[in-house]
Amino acid sequence: MHRNFFILLLVGFLAGCATNELPPTVNLPPSPQPFPVDALVTQRAVLTVRGRQFTMNGYVARSATGGLRLIMTENFGGVLADVLVKPDGRVFVLQVKPPFRKAWVERFVAADLKCVFAGATEADCPVRVLSPTHFVIKRRQYELDLRTVEVKPGVQPPEMFEEPQGGKP
């Protein structure tokens, strides 16, 4: 009888410990970047907003002197957002299309870009690093599951990092 009780207790304990929750969100401390200073990074993402999921692709050009340039596309290649983040932190939204709005891209997309690629030390950097190629960003408004598909090291064309005419963010 003791043996059966022990087995039941063990099974109950193991079943009770199983969980599929991710570890708590960790704010990224300043750390070495998993990406080369100059590179073109291709990523796939699943954006979850109010229970709805949207898949998209992202192409991030990273330059030691020019900053970051992100072009987000839908699965069929249409551009959803094009944003430039200069090394000094200035943000330029070069293009935005529904369902995104310019203010949302300036506030959230640029912040997430800085968190993952620029080693942002801001307290509001809710990035969970699951592996060197898998990141989860969870904010009150949305969750972004981001996976790196390809990294092509090398200097990117300087014209990719030019400010728009007039220089207005």
Residue 19 pLDDT exceeds 70 = no
Q: What is the CATH number of domain 36-152?
A: 2.50.20.10
| Residue 79 CB contacts under 8 Å (≥ 6 apart), including other chains | 71, 72, 73, 95, 97
pTM score, whole prediction: 0.77
Mean pLDDT value across residues 52-64: 95
The reported pLDDT for the residue numbered 28 is: 43
Question: Could you tell me if 66 and 87 are in contact, meaning their C-beta atoms sit under 8 angstroms apart?
Answer: yes
Residue 7 pLDDT exceeds 70 = no
Residue 1 pLDDT exceeds 70 = no
Look at the block and give the residue holding tokens 């009770």. 16
- Average pLDDT across the chain, whole number: 82
Q: Which residues of 53-73 are buried (b: 16+ CB within 10 A; e: fewer)?
A: eeebbbebbbbeebbbbbbbe
Phi and psi for 117 in degrees, rounded to 5? -105, -20
**Alpha-carbon gap, residue 88 to 168, rounded angstroms:** 14
pLDDT band at 40 (very low <50, low <70, confident <90, very high): very high
pLDDT tens digit string along 135-169?
999 999 999 999 999 999 999 999 999 998 765 55
Residue 116 host element (H or E): helix 110-117
pLDDT tens digit string along 94-120?
999 998 999 999 999 999 999 898 876
Question: Could you tell me if 163 and 51 are in contact, meaning their C-beta atoms sit under 8 angstroms apart?
Answer: no
